[in-house]
Structure 1
Amino acid sequence: MAQLIKSDFEPAWWLPSPHLQTLWPSLFRRHLPLELRRERVELRDGDFIDIAWHGSKGPLVLLIHGLEGSLESHYATTLISALNSAGFRCLFMHLRGCSGVPNRLQRSYHSGATEDLVDTVEFLRLKEELPKAVVGISLGGNLLLKYLGESGCDSAFNAAVAVSVPFNLKSAVKRLEHGFSRVYSRHLLRKLLKSHAQKCRSMSIPDTDNISSISTIYEFDDRITAIQNGFVDADDYYQRSSCAQFLKHITTPTLILHARDDPFMQPQDVPDLQDLGPGVSLELSDCGGHVGFVQGKLPWRPVYWLDRRVPAFLKHVLTRD
């Protein structure tokens, strides 16, 4: 049965605002050195995805990163380590072109590319290494929830967690064009443009899009993401890829963790109970920012709540099963 849950998350007193919650981990969180085994997944369309394995015992959990994310994202190695400490093996899935190596095809990764997740699942199924659970962060959370809704009862996973999801992609992109959130938009746009330029150089493609004139993520998606991936324009891409319309079809036990003050999206885009499928629990906190959720009494001893909440949910569901 779908449910709305009031989160027990309470922000650190020294990080009271959504922007401080969002920025602190990115600026100050330490990356953990991990022993990783890397592997390449060949996709049906001739492209590839790079994955990284960690741990040798326990149920396997797949992690999917956010926009322009990678193993260098502040939550990546730390969440892998937290899951490993809780008894899980982990598999980190880089989206196309996000592993430091440009992908082969002109098309790119995007928020609704569930076919890439399907191909990865099939690759793992053939290896008899199918994950028991999956965790998606931000854009990766949107992709995950879309997949779970599309697959319904045929989902490959026994449990799922989605964190700080942009339920309505157009609304989220427009939100990033206002106020202090423009800081995040400019940062992400610089990374998108840099990645696109590197890819064009690797494929000897001339800059016919004149990317230097692009000033917003909406423009980037309208002129590059949408066209490269078979959409008419940005609006078509956002409409077809936003996960909100797929939530009601999810039957996999799924926890969505979301802060009402997330500066990447509008509060009115948070789903209501009637929007959720029978497998979904939406856990809402008043504070937490975007993939922040930092607690702790002292600034030099921060506590990252996600590293506790995500493993706890997965252990609860998988033990029950």
Structure 2
Amino acid sequence: MKYQAPAWLPGGHAQTIWPAFFARSSEAPALQFRRERWLTPDADFIDVDWLDPVLPTSQASTAQSSPKPPLLVLFHGLEGSSQSHSSQAFASVARARGWALALPHFRGCSGELNLAPRAYHSGDFEEIGWILARCKASYGGPMIAAGVSLGGNALLRWAEESGAAAAATVQAVCAICSPVDLAAAGHAIGRGFNRLVYTRMFLRSMVPKALHKLAQHPGLFDGERLRAAKNLYEFDNLFTAPLHGFRSTEDYWQRASAKPHLRDIRIPALVLNAANDPFVPAHCLPTAADAGPHVTLWQPAQGGHVGFPQGRPPGHLFAMPEQVCQWLAQSLP
């Protein structure tokens, strides 16, 4: 990836925080998503936001007989949604290319609490597989997929578990700023400035949702201990791990991490991580020896965590999605 951060926004923290709040992430006209609610096999639901392709006038008249444009399925990050800055930027780039976009919300992330005694997690490849299969069946055209942070790790885990069979569903996948070594990332976000800023931000959202889940399903976990959780390690130990079949945080982080299984991927896969990402330390990033022949590694020196701002203040966020989409397009028919 060719990326140089603007001089006015130096450092990984600035390149993470500023884009999330101030940089331009969508182009006019405003994005208008169409929401669908899908019932899951376990009697729960997820909400999927669709952005239909905008065809040029010359193509619109022949749209019935023309092949469908590609569909980009985008999986958001921890506590994200279709309104996240990265989601908006990818949606804008997809629309500019004439692609359709589907953004499935992980359970509980669409603005309404899900029903089942579970939420979502970084290694939820079964859920990813079910969503992708349904997108493929309902859309019917060529499909590619990308995931941001947590969503990217889960997407890679699906590709790893699926092996060669993944090619029947998608042409290529990409993980953006994903914590492919969950233990390294989990410990990093629990220290110093990361703990004071990012951990507190995530827990402000995650703890109340978990407590609402406890009200739905009394006795599901120890609410008092969860209220006292000071970091993601403790939260995962009390909530994420036991609700999703893991013995502990260590077991969850080990089994859900994508890095140890990258060589099992059999479709084109791009793994993009900035070396100055505050959440994902550079020392834990995969090397060519980890990756295998189907995986491409992009590890620019700058960019922060899902930031990659560009241009004059306040900056914009289209440079990274444009390069990712260009890479994904190479695998389309």
TM-score (norm 2): 0.88
Relative distance call for 1:125 and 1:9 in structure 2 (3 A) is closer
Change (3 A) 1:109 1:300: closer
CA distance in 2, matches of 1:125, 1:70: 21
Q: 1:282 to 1:69 in 2, by over 3 A?
A: same
**Structure 1 partner of 2:113:** 102
- Residue 90 of structure 1 is matched in structure 2 by 101
Residue segments in structure 2 that go unaligned for 5+ positions in a row: 56-68
State the partner residue of 2:6: 12
Q: What residue identity is the alignment partner of 1:34?
A: L
Match of 1:165 among 158, 175, 178: 178
Q: Indicate yes or no: 2:216 matched with 1:222.
A: no
Q: Aligned match of 2:246 in 231, 255, 274?
A: 231
Task: Give the CA deviation at 1:178.
Answer: 1.7
Residues 257 and 213 of structure 1, relative CA distance in 2, 3 Å threshold: same
- Using the aligned pairs only, state the percent identity: 36
Aligned partners of 1:48 and 1:308: how far apart in 2? 31
Letter in 1 for 2:9: L
- In structure 2, what residue type is equivalent to 1:52? D
Pair 128,300 (structure 1): closer, same or farther in 2 beyond 3 Å: closer
Instruction: Look up the match of 1:255.
Output: 270
Distance across 2 between alignment mates of 1:205 and 1:224:
12
Change (3 A) 1:131 1:242: farther
Which of 31, 47, 52 is the matching residue for 2:49? 52
Give the paired residue count: 312
Paired amino acid for 1:315: A
Secondary structure at the counterpart of residue 310 of structure 1:
helix
CA drift at 1:69: 0.7
* In 2, Cα distance between equivalents of 1:23 and 1:119: 33
Is the 8 Å Cα contact of residues 102 and 202 (structure 1) preserved in structure 2? no
276, 282, 292: which one aligns with 2:297? 282
1:201: which partner in 2?
Answer: 215
| TM-aligned CA distance change 1:236 to 1:206, over 3 Å | closer
Q: TM-score, normalised by structure 1?
A: 0.92
Match of 2:38 among 34, 37, 41: 41
Shift of 1:276: 0.9
Question: Secondary structure at the residue paired with 1:101?
Answer: coil
2:328 aligned with 1:317:
no
Question: Alpha carbons of 1:130 and 1:48: their partners in 2 closer, same or farther (altered >3 Å)?
Answer: farther
Structure 2 distance, partners of 1:131, 1:141, is: 20
* Partners of 1:287 and 1:233 in 2: CA distance: 33
Write the distance in 2 (CA, Å) between the matches of 1:301 and 1:124.
Answer: 33
**Root-mean-square deviation over aligned CA pairs:** 1.8
Which of the two has greater strand per residue? 1
Residue 189 of structure 1 pairs with residue 203 of structure 2:
yes
Over 3 Å counting, the alpha-carbon distance change for 1:180 and 1:85 in structure 2 is same
